[in-house]
């Protein structure tokens, strides 16, 4: 417990001993309350003197000394006993002994004789300590008791009530106190009740309700990056991919996407929504920066994105990189086809022959591509040899047949032997 706050509470208590007139102001502030005023009481002179000495020890950071003095007080009057027990509880709480603090707070509260402010503060402190000690049922009882006694409520208390219900797995009972917290905070917006509502809906798989919470939260807390990312992902859960993409795109532009998985998710959404160029540039940027791993899966995604965006030269480049990473024939074949499409015929032949060397499945199609590349390079002899091999594959025999005479005729016309 924060010592400064405890000191304030103790000073307030001691004021009752030393300056009883101070309570006149407190009473005046509640003059319009319907709740009957509680009679102000004072501790006896003997007890008050010892309490004052205990506070002096506490102020000198001698909590054990202050406790020893307080525990030695033999208070015969009910009010005196309750007052001292409350003081002892605050000392224990300050010293980090919540169990003993709870014990003495219960003793102080039980006779219901403390002055109004002290009694209310004791109930609330008891509830807070019970929360710390995971005594959630008891804490809920005492938060309600505090509100009933004082006629007050505040956002922080409603948040604690919602949180206690979460700890007790009463997920459906989190929403009402969270909403009351939001109302209590008013214009002083606090993100905690929104987080609690979101947690309740998420764990109950009420994703549409969760989206509603987050749509409000991002407007109230535009700088809270977690809300933006969560909203984008919840849109995906309800299969509203366009809104998911738009939200994560906005989050990215604000610098909120910082993880590899987040970049990859956004790139996938670009691709799914037919914006492959943005997918490619996003992946390329963050692979280069090192945020996204330069592994075969990510290079494969990048190659596919550039291909879908019709940037053939870049797609061929990354398929080539992928081929070297994996040493798989299919990637060399893809690289070769794209290089041929981009009229980089010499490089295409190298890649396609590597694909054959590694045992590419569609040999006939690969030989056809090699034949075409050699043909456009003017290598008619090599083109003719490749087309003969393509003829051996039943799948490409018909197509290859048409090339045979075309290669022969072109070579003859240009005076080249085959």
Distances from the Cα of 257 to the Cαs of 115, 230, 244, 277, in angstroms? Answer: 54, 11, 13, 19
Q: In the predicted model, what is the mean pLDDT of residues 280-291?
A: 98
Dihedrals phi, psi of 182, to nearest 5 degrees: -60, -45
Closest CA to 107 of 83, 124, 128, 125: 83
Closest CA to 132 of 162, 98, 159, 161: 98
pLDDT at 191 over 50: yes
Residue 321, SS3? helix
Q: What is the location of CATH 1.25.40.10 in the chain?
A: 1-27+37-152, 260-361
Q: Render pLDDT for 202-229 as a digit per residue (tens, 0 to 9).
A: 999 999 999 999 999 999 999 999 999 9
Q: In the predicted model, what is the mean pLDDT of residues 2-18?
A: 34
| Rounded Cα gap, residues 390 and 333, in angstroms | 15
pLDDT at 378 over 60: yes
| Rounded Cα gap, residues 18 and 128, in angstroms | 28
What single DSSP character describes residue 378? T
Tokens for 173? 């009972």
- The CATH H-level (homologous superfamily) assignment of domain 1-27+37-152 is Tetratricopeptide repeat domain (1.25.40.10)
What single DSSP character describes residue 172? G
pLDDT at 356 over 90: yes
CATH code of the domain occupying 260-361: 1.25.40.10
pLDDT at position 38: 81
Residue 302, SS3? helix
Burial of 349 (0-12, 13-18, 19+ CB in 10 A): buried
| Rounded Cα gap, residues 403 and 169, in angstroms | 74
pLDDT at position 307: 98
pLDDT at 13 over 90: no
Mean pLDDT value across the chain: 91
Q: Which long-range contacts (CB under 8 A, 24 or more apart) does 224-231 make?
A: 224/191, 225/251, 225/254, 225/256, 227/191, 227/194, 228/254, 228/256, 229/256, 229/257, 229/262, 230/198
pLDDT at 33 over 70: no
Exposure string of 131-162, with b = 16+ CB inside 10 Å and e = fewer, is beeebbebbbebbebbbebbeebebebbbbbb
């Amino acid at each position: 417990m924060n010592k400064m706050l405890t000191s304030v509470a103790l000073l307030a208590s001691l004021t009752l001993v030393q300056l009883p007139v101070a309570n006149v102001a407190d009473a005046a502030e509640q003059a319009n309350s319907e709740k009957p005023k509680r009679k102000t009481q004072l501790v006896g002179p003997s007890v008050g003197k010892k309490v004052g000495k205990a506070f002096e020890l506490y102020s000198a950071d001698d909590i054990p000394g202050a406790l020893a003095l307080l525990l030695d007080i033999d208070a015969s009057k009910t009010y005196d006993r309750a007052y001292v027990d409350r003081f002892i509880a605050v000392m224990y709480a300050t010293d980090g002994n919540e169990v003993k603090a709870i014990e003495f707070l219960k003793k102080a509260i039980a006779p219901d004789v403390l002055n109004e402010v002290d009694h209310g503060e004791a109930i609330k402190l008891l509830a807070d300590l019970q929360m710390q000690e995971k005594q959630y049922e008891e804490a809920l009882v005492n938060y309600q008791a505090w509100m009933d006694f004082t006629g007050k409520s505040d956002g922080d208390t409603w948040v604690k009530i919602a949180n206690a219900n979460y700890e007790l797995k009463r997920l459906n009972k989190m929403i009402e106190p969270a909403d009351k917290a939001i109302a209590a905070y008013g214009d002083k917006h606090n993100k905690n009740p929104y987080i609690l509502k979101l947690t309740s809906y998420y764990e109950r798989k009420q994703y549409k309700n969760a989206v509603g919470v987050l749509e409000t939260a991002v407007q109230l807390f535009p700088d809270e990056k977690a809300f933006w990312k969560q909203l984008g992902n919840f849109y995906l859960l309800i299969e509203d991919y366009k809104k998911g993409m738009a939200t994560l795109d906005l989050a990215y532009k604000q610098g909120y996407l910082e993880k590899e998985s987040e970049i990859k998710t956004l790139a996938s959404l670009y691709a799914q929504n037919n914006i492959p160029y943005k997918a490619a540039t996003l992946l390329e940027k963050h692979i280069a920066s090192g945020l996204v791993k330069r592994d075969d899966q990510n290079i494969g995604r990048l190659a596919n994105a550039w291909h879908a965006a019709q940037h053939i030269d870049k797609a061929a480049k990354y398929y080539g990189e992928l081929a070297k990473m994996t040493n798989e024939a299919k990637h060399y074949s893809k690289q070769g086809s794209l290089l041929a499409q981009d009229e980089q015929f010499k490089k295409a032949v190298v890649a396609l022959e590597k694909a054959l060397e590694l045992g590419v499945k569609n040999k006939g199609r690969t030989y056809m591509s090699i034949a075409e590349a050699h043909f456009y390079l003017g290598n008619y002899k090599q083109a003719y040899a490749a087309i003969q091999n393509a003829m051996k594959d039943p799948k490409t025999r018909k197509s290859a047949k048409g090339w045979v005479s075309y290669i022969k005729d072109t070579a003859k016309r240009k005076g080249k032997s085959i």
